[in-house]
Homo-oligomer: A and B are copies of this chain.
Amino acid sequence: MDSVAPLPSSPRLIIDLDAVRTNYQLMAILSGTAKTGAAIKANAYGVGLERVAPVLARAGCASFFCAHLSEAMRARSVLGHEAEIFVLSGVSYGEAPLLRQKFLTPVLSTPEQIQLWREAGDGEPAALHIDTGMNRLGFDWHGFDPAMAEGLNLSLIMSHFACAADPDHAMNKIQLNRFSLIREAFPKVRASLANSAGILHGPETHFGLTRPGIALYGGAPLDTGGPALAPVARIEAPILQVRTLRKGENVGYAASFTAPRNMTIATVAIGYADGLPISASNHGFGRIDGHITPLIGRVSMDLSAFDVSLLPSTPEPGDMLSLLGKDLEALASASDTLSYELLTRLGPRFVRQYKGSSA
C-alpha cells in the first residue's frame, strides 16, 4: 500500500494490482496457444499506466497497445527496452523520430503513414491495421492491395471487432473471414484480432496475439457478462453529513428527488468531477458495510446524496461509502453507460492507493 495519507474529507481510489495480474492470467489461459498482449491505452483504462504495465510485464505480457505516442513514451519509461509497444494512432510528421528513438511500433492505417514510415522508419518494425467492417481506423479490407506494404518491416497485422460483445452478432464471422482473407497475403507475419470479448469467441479468433483490455481491469467483456473477473478499482468516499429528510422535501439540484416518506440521507464527498456521472442521478447506488445504498437526487460536482434509511445502523460522518468494485457493471448499467467509460473517466482528485503483493 502506498504511504500517501489520504485527507479524511476526500475520496480515494483503491486499485488492486493483484486483481489485474489475476485477470491477465485468466485471459492468457483463455488465449490458448496465442501470446497475450495488453491494451494499456487511456492511462491503462483509467487505473494507472505506470503501476499496471510493470505488473502485466511480470505476469508474462510482452506486447502493449497504447493509443497515442505520449502514452507509449510513458509505457517505455516504466517497461524497459524489451517490451514491444504499439501506437494505435500510427505516425504523423514530427512523430517518427520519437517513435524510432524509443523503439515504439506504429500501427499504420493509411497510405500516407506507410509512406512516412518507409521514409523515416529506418527499417524499424511497423504494424498494419486492416479495417474489416468497423469503419473506424485502418485500411479498408475491400480493395486492400498487399503490395502497398512492400518495403516495410512488418511485425504485426491486426484488425478490430465491432460487435464482439455480442458473440452471436453476424459481424463477427464476417470480420473474421475478411481478416483471414487479407492475412493470406502475409503468411509469415504475426496476426491479431481478438480483444477481451474476442478471446471468449474461441481459438479461431486468437491468431498469434490477443489484446485484452477491459477484462484486465475487471469490466465484463460481453453484453451478457462473461467469466468471473477480479474487481480492480474501488472508490471509498467519506460521508460528510447525515441528515433527516421530512416527507415531501427535495434533494439536490433541480429538486429532482422528493422524499416519499421521512428518510435519513447521507451527503458523500463524491461527484461528477470525480467520475460518478450525472446520469447516475436517482439511479446509481453505493454500499456501506456491504449494504446497498441508493443514490438520490442529482449528482453534484463534488457531492452526492444516498438513502441510508434502511441500513441496519445509521452511519456517521467520516464513515465510508464504497462504489465500483464488484458493482462496476451494475453501476454502469444503472447510469446508462459502459464500465469502460466509468473507468477511463475516473477523476484526478482521488488519492490513489495501490494494493496487492504487486504494489
- Contact residues of A with B, CB < 8 Å? 7-10, 41-43, 45-46, 67-71, 88-95, 109-110, 112, 131, 133-138, 140, 162-163, 165-166, 169, 171, 238, 240-241, 243-245, 249-255, 265, 267, 269, 271-273, 275, 277-279, 297, 300-303, 305, 317-318, 336-338, 340-341, 344-345, 347-349, 351
Contacts and interface: CB of A to CB of B under 8 A. Distances in A.
Given A9-B92, A95-B8, A303-B137, A254 B341 contact: no
Given A42-B271, A43-B349, 19 more contacts: A10-B89, A43-B273, A43-B348, A67-B271, A67-B273, A70-B351, A89-B302, A92-B238, A133-B250, A135-B252, A136-B251, A136-B252, A136-B267, A136-B300, A162-B254, A272-B341, A275-B345, A278-B341, A301-B340
A288 B247 CA distance: 52
Please give the count of copies of this chain that the complex contains: 2
10 contacts: A9-B90, A9-B91, A9-B92, A90-B240, A137-B240, A137-B241, A162-B254, A272-B340, A301-B344, A348-B348
Contacts of A67: 269, 271, 273, 301-302
A162 B251 CA distance: 8
Nearest to A138: B241
Q: Is the interface of A mostly helix, strand, loop or mixed?
A: loop
A349 B171 contact: no
9 smallest CB-CB distances across A and B, nearest first, come from A42-B273, A67-B302, A273-B344, A8-B92, A9-B89, A135-B251, A10-B68, A272-B341, A278-B341
B254 A165 contact: yes
Given A71-B349, A240-B90, A279-B336, A252 B134 contact: yes
Contacts of A337: 277-279
Contacts of A134: 250-253
A7 B278 contact: no
A90 B8 CA distance: 11
B136 A69 contact: no
B93 A8 contact: yes
A85 B69 CA distance: 39
Nearest to A332: B278
B68 A269 contact: yes
Contact of A255 (B92, B109, B162, B254): B162
